[in-house]
Structure 1
């Protein structure tokens, strides 16, 4: 049986429509899932929607509809967006699914049986927008006296009966976890924030609410519903059939990677491992949180009107160009700025000029001078060997960067080879060799096609549609899209389809 790999996005909260931040996480997870499949692994890629909580109940009430109806509508919008972005998820979970409710309740019972849950009363600062409790020292006070959470959300003082998780008992074990598993949290800056938070002292965590009803009932006490984060985090195991541990899907646990936004790093890197340790369940291998996007230098805001709908972006610029830009523009883990100018520049310079033009020149020369057949090759020169060596090194480099979630580094290494190819074709001038050395011309074109095959295969996870078209033009059957197949040269004389451009230049509408 092939090795297994599980990657997850957070489940997206149904209090608003999908935006570029959601697309960013989903595309990153999709790149990893596709990469691992190409590398021969059996992959389980999980995404979905988080549908319970006070905000959903209140939003549904304001629209005079049932919470389930609101959840159905917005969850479908997230699924439609994932499909439009060509996200190759294996399962789309909803926290209103019956099997998820059963899994979350089973996790609660397991944690309770370990003595880590008790009934008390909660009194403290609560941010409805974040569905999160904050301590006094985390808040700032505005001139009008309002208290604000670190996320910018307004907080209010609440008091109600609550079940608590004994988070305070897990401080030392969490710190040992981070110390013994230095790659458990990424990037490094986020890991330091989490460690400092845990070192500052952990208080027991309120994990139930009685002030609203839209949630999963607490087992044995239906006056309480689960705190939305206990419910939501359980999705990662309920999707695998928890508490049933004999299913084929359960073999994917523990997850290899949870990808999340930095605003929910604490829930995943502190609360989630504590819940799992209390329940005696293995921990995920890694939790990586990325940064936020601004838009043309401004924070995304409904009031400003600059929230980007990813579907609109795809309609205007094309799917693979958008996928490429989001993975290329900034180091994954840091904050970044979305600008149309940057997107168009990358489309025209890197996609159209660098890669598109290289492929078009190479394939057109083969069509014109080699009867449209894959050329044969003679002995390689130093220049040939240097280019092929650089190309063949890409896979090993990409494996390292994919496991570090450094997508921009993979793309930069690939573009170094693309730029080297363009320098090579200019220096070798195969169009001139047609008149002086036919055998050398064929060798040069074959070196270029072999290098383009590596480039196209490694770019498949990022741009599956356009790279599929490129590989088809290189004579590679879809069934041979894999990293392992790169070790087997394509037979000379393979008839190639007529060349077609893969990346036209972007021309703004008049």
Structure 2
């Protein structure tokens, strides 16, 4: 079931602490969490990182608006992101803050390395800067509306002139294009890759990487009048967490990252600046940057001014954690924009979770309780003709000890970040199982063929074990409950364990509902 054990490194962006978490933050981290959990089930060594980006002019201004010291402000808001990670049941191995001393040391080390290699020089910056984006924009990217100039993101820009250190980004244009060509899977999905390549082909200019007009940031080594550009600071977090600048730390084995999960609005920084910084420093580049889309709310763009920001913690309170986790990755292909609709969440919860999976589990386990004395029947000696198609559709091994195809297919889809397709596949098998129990009617077989009844119930139990095992990364709490009800030992919940049938005779606890249906479907 598993390939050779290997190290897997997955990251979320480190979230900017100028406001409280919203559904976009929850969505990005959820994708990373599901993939991390899947790799652990596969027997891999996983390091999963998330955290907060706490420097820059935008944070300084937000703290000032609150009448707070920037450090006290970031301490408060960072805790909200820690709380989100706990409430969403993320399995992150580390939570990094850019105000930590380990991070300041890593930033200084990377700066010195770039400086020693001739990649940084001192000059003056003059151009358009968006405080909201913490980004500089070229004249050709600026639009004007009602006398105000704006970046392509819609953020207002201001003309800035100040001393600045520069990174020789222009010298990396052709090298980046060659890198993209040699690594076609580095940027995903394909539409985002095309956008990045088009941007780079349009020409790169040297990048201003320090500021003197504010103080809240990592000091430039040897010139403390300057603080580092927030994106050089922020991106460095991915190697800080692995022990950089010591490339001999135990965690350094995880570099390069397998996937950086980001929103599409910050793809440029991760797919252009970050590999250029790393190549210039002589460090390995990440294997993939995946940029997902944005959510709207009932067809409307999400906006604080409109008042339609979606609070993930409120969703959990109303619908339960695992239904929310399931819905966010089931509803929309990862990488595309999606529209959050309450009725769609209710429909998924009631239809797929409660009716399809929950009802199947409750019917099967209740029948085993009543008709098999609550004890797991023996595996069928020979599959009946009526069982063959069902066994194939529900991911059973083709031969003793062979990997279940369903697990292999789900893994392949998750490795391409096709979360919705993986769930679609599993729930197609769940529908097959519901069709099977309806056709075979094990409740009626008790009167006519006890041996056949036991075989049918054992096949259904085996199928539920497969479903519960594969769905653990998406709904860990609920699938733990289901695996408990199936009497699957804690040591037999990895993917590799699916190749070994459970022994007969295990006592199954009385079943209890996995999901609560929602009756009120008001928008």
Give the TM-score range, shorter chain: over 0.9
The 2-side partners of 1:462 and 1:401 are apart by 14
3-state SS, counterpart of residue 100 of structure 1: helix
Aligned equivalents of 2:460, 2:405: Cα separation in 1: 16
Shift of 1:343: 0.3
Partner of 1:373: 375
| Structure 1 residue 138 displacement after superposition | 1.3
Query: What's the CA shift for 1:139?
Result: 1.9
User: What's the TM-score once normalised by structure 2's chain length?
Assistant: 0.96
Whether contact under 8 Å (1:213, 1:225) holds in the other structure is yes
Partner residue in 2 for 1:434: 446
Name the structure 2 match of 1:458. 470
Quote the Cα distance in structure 2 between the aligned partners of 1:104 and 1:477: 46
User: Which residue in 1 is equivalent to 2:6?
Assistant: 3
- Alignment match, 1:350: 352
Q: Is the 8 A contact 2:343 2:521 kept in 1?
A: no
Cα deviation, residue 148, structure 1: 1.4
Q: What's the CA shift string for 1:133-178, capped at 9, x where partnerless? A: 0111112221x12221111111111111100000000011110111
Residues 382/182 of structure 1: CA separation in 2 closer, same or farther (3 Å cut): farther
Contact 1:257–1:284 (8 Å) recurs in 2: yes
Aligned to 1:21: 24
- Who is 1:394 aligned against? 406
Determine helix, strand or coil for the equivalent of 1:452: helix
Conserved in 1, the CA contact under 8 Å of 2:49 and 2:93? Answer: yes
> What is the distance in 2 between the residues matched to 1:334 and 1:206?
32
Q: Is the partner of 1:497 in helix, strand or coil?
A: coil
Aligned residue for 2:400?
none
| Cα distance in 1, alignment partners of residues 235 and 294 from structure 2 | 21
- Identify the residue that residue 270 of structure 2 maps to in structure 1: 268
User: Could you say which residue in structure 1 is the equivalent of 2:430?
Assistant: 418
Which of residues 482, 486, 500 in structure 2 aligns to 1:474? 486
**Does the residue aligned with 1:375 lie in a helix, a strand or coil?**
coil
Match of 1:45 among 48, 54, 62: 48
The offset of 1:65, in angstroms, is 1.2
2:316 and 2:68 map into 1 onto residues whose CA distance is 31
CA contact (8 A) 2:47 2:254 kept: yes
Q: Give the secondary-structure state (helix, strand or coil) at the position aligned to 2:46.
A: strand
Residue 179 of structure 1, aligned match among 178, 181, 186? 181
Aligned to 2:388: 385
1:497 to 509, 512, 517: 509
Decide whether the 8 Å contact of 2:123 with 2:164 is kept in 1. Answer: yes
1:220 is aligned to 2:222: yes
TM-score, scaled relative to structure 1? 0.98
- Structure 1 CA distance, aligned partners of 2:367 and 2:31? 36
RMSD over aligned CA atoms reads 1.1
Select which of 96, 99, 106 maps to 2:99: 96
The aligned counterpart of 2:58 is 55
State the distance in 2 between where 1:284 and 1:198 align: 18
Residue 59 of structure 1 and its aligned partner are, at CA, apart by 1.2
| Equivalent position SS for 1:141 | strand
Structure 2 residue aligned with 1:307 = 309
Q: Which SS does the other structure have where 1:322 is aligned?
A: helix
Deviation at 1:63, TM superposition (A): 1.6
Instruction: Output aligned runs, 1:306-325, within 5 Å.
Output: 306-325=308-327
- Cα deviation for residue 509 of structure 1 reads 9.4
Q: How many pairs align?
A: 509
Counterpart CA distance in 1 for 2:348 and 2:49 is 30
Q: Structure 1 CA distance, aligned partners of 2:112 and 2:24?
A: 34
